[in-house]
Chain A
Amino acid sequence: MTNTIADVETADAILLTGTNTTENHPVLSTFIKRAVTKRGAKLIVVDPRKIKLTEFSDQWLRPALGSDVAWINGMMHVIIKEGLHDKTFIEQRTEKFEEVKAVVEKYNPEKVEEITGIPAQSIIDAARTYASAKAGAIVYCMGITQHTSGTDNVKSLANLAMLCGNLGIYGGGVNPLRGQNNVQGACDMGGLPNVFTAYQPVTNDDVRKSLETKWGVTGMSAKPGLTATQMVPKAHDGELKALYVIGENPLVSDPDLNHAEKSLKNLEFLVVQDIFMTETAQLADVVLPSRCFAEKDGTFSNTERRVQRIRKAVEPPGQAKYDWEIICDIATRMGYPMSYNDPKQIMEEIASVTPSYAGITYDRIEEVGIHWPCPNPSHPGTPVLHTQQFPRGKGLFHAIEYQPPAENTDNEYPLYLTTGRVIYHYHTGTMTRKTEGLNERSPESFVEVSKQDADTYGIQDGAMAMVSSRRGKISVRVKISDKAVDGTVFIPFHFAEAAANKLTNAALDPVSKIPEFKVCAIKISKAA
């Protein structure tokens, strides 16, 4: 997030899209709800599903799946046409505005209505509301990124925020919500193929040289590595021979699971380090037991870039070890000794090689976490990003055209499927499904369909239905709901036994390599 969680409550208008916040980030959603109920902030929800927050919204726009660039361009069209854009901000802080202006010129509300199904007047109203707010916050999540056009969607939202001068101010910003507890930290710590810690490019010779010196090695690779979604096909083709998986369960979370399973089976050597025997671990050659968060000291970085402590509360079961201990042990056996007394010592090393964490120590975050960038020990941290300038200096506008999703409905597969989560479960369910109460509230997978679609395809509420795509099929219970829009069904992806990702499309966004979980074509029928 460019801004903080608390800051969202101070916004005058909130544009919320592709996030079912009350289910996925429940406590954060309370800040949004209070902004509306206590401060009278205007909430605009753009979501194909009738999510809970639509009850708090001023306006609810219901776009066709995968049409995000179009409605965002449409809003910009209206804002520019009505002169509601922040000319000073654009002039002083950004560049290439003219290019965007030229592209969005074509996206008049009527054309946008054709693409997105959102009435032209609603686009105009939403544009006015967002642009005329003193501080307008944009909040989004996987509903924006999990598309073949995910990168375009994100850039478009940044365009919109810059257009209205809503970056670098309190109550504004572009705020992606991180789904998993430490996604932010995993990225910050260089758990990405193209960058070291703090997003320092692996291709930068100076950075690489200085890390080699620091770590006492030579010959580190300058070639960006494979993303998770690229590793799977490389394993399939036999180019990737070994995979070391730490605390992930790609066999439920990956798109097109049938293909993913074949690929992992094709590996020469698979190591899985986890707290449970997950679907992925079953396929492994070696399984290593690790501690869970309650058995660990360390830090997580939350979605607002706040580095916070975790503390050991209980002893680990059996011989389970810290993930770092296990890796250090293997490194040592491979001839590169790695050893640390405790996580605190690792954090000291992190601070020494990570500019944005340079000022972070356990002592400083004992009570309250600090927002990075925190470049030195006396720096208070940075709650709001880009207040003076952007990392590259001026903010860059990107002129972006709408592209339809990779897979469209046809006669054989006439419905769209979108996937997501429910409040009672988490990711692939390996943790939440161990709590009986959560299972009682949400025992099994379901397919959420509109009344009309249910009638068309002859399926009944509470009965089982067969849902199939070009890649696979699953049998799930039917839930007729007014949350669903005609023509689109929803399935949560927590449940391995009816894995939604057997259906989803592995088509990737060309830049971010994020799969298009949010759109694929399916058909539905009564279970035999």
Chain B
Amino acid sequence: MTFQNKISINGNTFAFEPGETILEVAHRNNIDIPSLCHLKGTTPTGSCQICVVQIAGRPDLATACSTPAENDISVLTESPRVIASRKNTLKTFLASGNHNCAVSDSYGKDWTELQLKVQKDDESKELCPVWGDCRLQDLAYRYQVTGNRERITEFPYKMETVNPFIVRDFSRCILCGRCVKACREIQVNNAIDFNTPEHPSKIIAKDDQALKDSDCVFCGECIQVCPVGALVEKDIRYHVRQWDTRKVRTTCSYCGVGCQMFLHVKDNRIVKVSGVEGVEPNHGSLCVKGRFGFNFVHSQDRLTMPLIKENGKFREASWEEATNLVAEKLKAIKSKNGPDAIGVLTSARVSNEENYIAHKFTRAVLKTNNIDHCARL
């Protein structure tokens, strides 16, 4: 019996593969070690300090995301020391910007002032746009971090709203760097970075320009990974609350990659699209069309009624009348000119089931093989 590659976490022993981090072993075994900056598939930095754990016999806490699992070490993920450290870190984050969600036990005077200031800054009448859908807020709640007693510092960077898709609110950015990793290591668009590697204070695009003037292609990966309210889809900011929506998983209808996506639906309308994480083929990534190109679904220009052309003009018709007309016409042409006088163009846009039905209709009912689609085009 060999004792190689065994690690103890909270008193239970687990096997690990050489090279795995403590965080990976824990997550694989459904042990929740929280983190803010860790992003699967990218190089861990340990910068947010939330994933700290206590390793028996070591003087300092270690960041689980960047510490390799080692044989026979014994790890505690929620020890009093760990919890105290996380609380401190969370307090610092909450004090670092406009995090006006977890201040409820602050002095009443500060509360009002902060509220007013935030309202002025982001023209909102409400709290943070992602209230209730924020990792930082979740953790503040989980560790009962009691508010923001320090005055928040003046925020030097103005919000960016000049592009059509993404609002960048630097006052809520905790500089976790997930967006940078998503943009550089996952999408490899290399559009954004920290302003300085040493003591970063801002995420910048190009030489601190607007996203629209940088290499950004609006894939929105950065929004999806941002744990707080610093990056939000422009058109739903302050319009849609996460708990008002229902998520339906589907496949993107644009290109042949077939990205897996969630349609977020509110009142029978799609209000947002996000990538499905952890599944093939896209592992959460999308492109600008898939993520933002859904407005056509609810366009006023959608066809809603069958139309029949009379004297060069369309008029509305019932399904009964329209399908009867089509059936009669096709029957007549088929018997007069033969089946091969009819053609069907099926579609690379509709489902397999519908292509199958179109194919069966053409071969078995029309009795011709004149069927094709625009794949060649």
Contacts and interface: CB of A to CB of B under 8 A. Distances in A.
A33 B188 contact: yes
Contact of A515 (B218, B281, B347, B376): B376
Interface string B316-348: 000100111111111101000101111111111
Interface string B250-290: 11111111111001010011100000000111100111111
A312 B248 contact: yes
B357 A323 contact: yes
B323 A229 contact: no
Contacts of B285: 27, 30
Given A321-B319, A432-B296, A313 B333 contact: no
Interface stretch (B7-15, B115-123, B361-369): B361-369
B187 interface: yes
Nearest to B247: A313
B352 A307 contact: yes
A228 interface: yes
A197 interface: yes
Interface in A316-349: 317-324, 326-331, 333-336, 338, 343, 346-347, 349
Contacts of A115: none
Interface stretch (B52-60, B75-83, B306-314): B306-314
A232 B339 CA distance: 17
Nearest to B322: A286
A231 B343 contact: yes
Contacts of B376: 145-146, 227-229, 512-515
Chief secondary structure at chain B's binding surface: mixed
Contacts of A298: 351-354
Interface string A271-297: 100111100010011111110111110
A431 B347 CA distance: 15
A360 B369 CA distance: 26
B32 to A, nearest CB: 22
Contact of B324 (A246, A333, A441): A333
Given A293-B250, A333-B323, A441-B164, A300 B377 contact: no
B367 to A, nearest CB: 6
A224 B369 CA distance: 6
B356 A350 contact: yes
Interface in A1-42: 4-6, 22, 24-28, 30, 33-34, 37-38
A224 B345 CA distance: 15
B352 A274 contact: no
B358 A246 contact: yes
Nearest to A278: B303
Nearest to A217: B364
B364 A191 contact: no
A294 B297 contact: yes
Nearest to A283: B309
Contact of B257 (A241, A284, A303, A517): A303
A7 B377 CA distance: 27
B125 interface: no
A293 B347 CA distance: 13
A244 B369 contact: no
A438 B319 contact: no
A132 interface: no
B349 A247 contact: yes
B8 to A, nearest CB: 32
B114 interface: no
Contacts of A369: 258, 280
B217 interface: yes
B360 interface: yes
B289 A292 contact: no
B34 to A, nearest CB: 26
A177 B256 contact: yes
B248 A313 contact: yes
Given A6-B281, A286-B307, A330-B323, A244 B330 contact: yes
A133 interface: no
B337 A241 contact: yes
A499 B371 CA distance: 26
Given A27-B286, A30-B187, A243-B345, A188 B254 contact: no
Contacts of B304: 289, 317-320
Contacts of B139: none
A528 interface: no
Interface in A97-153: 145-146
B374 interface: yes
A369 to B, nearest CB: 7
B372 interface: yes
A226 B339 CA distance: 12
A202 B254 CA distance: 30
A315 interface: yes
B361 A330 contact: yes
Name the residue among B350, B370, B372 with the largest chain A CB count within 10 angstroms: B350
A313 B294 CA distance: 12
Contact of A436 (B164, B212, B314, B326): B164
Contact of B351 (A37, A234, A300, A321): A300
B256 A186 contact: no
Interface stretch (A62-70, A422-430, A449-457, A467-475): A422-430
B357 A328 contact: yes
Nearest to A302: B258
Nearest to B234: A437
B132 interface: no
A441 B328 CA distance: 46
A369 B352 CA distance: 14
Given A5-B257, A323-B354, A423-B289, A314 B306 contact: no
Contacts of B314: 287
Nearest to B43: A38
Contacts of A215: 360, 364
B165 interface: yes
A182 B350 contact: yes
Contact of B348 (A25, A186, A309): A186
A424 B248 CA distance: 24
A311 interface: yes
Interface in A186-221: 186-194, 196-197, 202, 211-212, 215, 217, 219-221
B50 to A, nearest CB: 26
A286 B364 contact: no
A334 B331 contact: yes
Nearest to A55: B190
B341 to A, nearest CB: 4
A482 to B, nearest CB: 15
Given A292-B253, A330-B361, A435-B294, A347 B367 contact: no
Given A26-B288, A438-B293, A182 B352 contact: yes
A168 B43 CA distance: 32
Contacts of B109: none
Contacts of B254: 180-181, 426, 431-432
Contact of B258 (A308, A323, A328): A308
B256 A228 contact: no
Nearest to B356: A189
Nearest to A308: B251
B300 to A, nearest CB: 9
B358 A225 contact: no
B355 to A, nearest CB: 4
B306 A193 contact: no
- The 4 A-B residue pairs whose C-beta atoms are closest, nearest first, are A318-B304, A302-B258, A178-B256, A437-B164
19 contacts: A189-B359, A190-B371, A191-B347, A212-B364, A217-B365, A221-B339, A231-B343, A244-B342, A248-B345, A275-B303, A277-B301, A288-B323, A308-B260, A312-B248, A318-B304, A327-B354, A336-B364, A367-B279, A441-B164
Given A311-B249, A431-B253, A512-B376, 6 more contacts: A182-B347, A269-B330, A299-B352, A302-B281, A434-B301, A441-B164
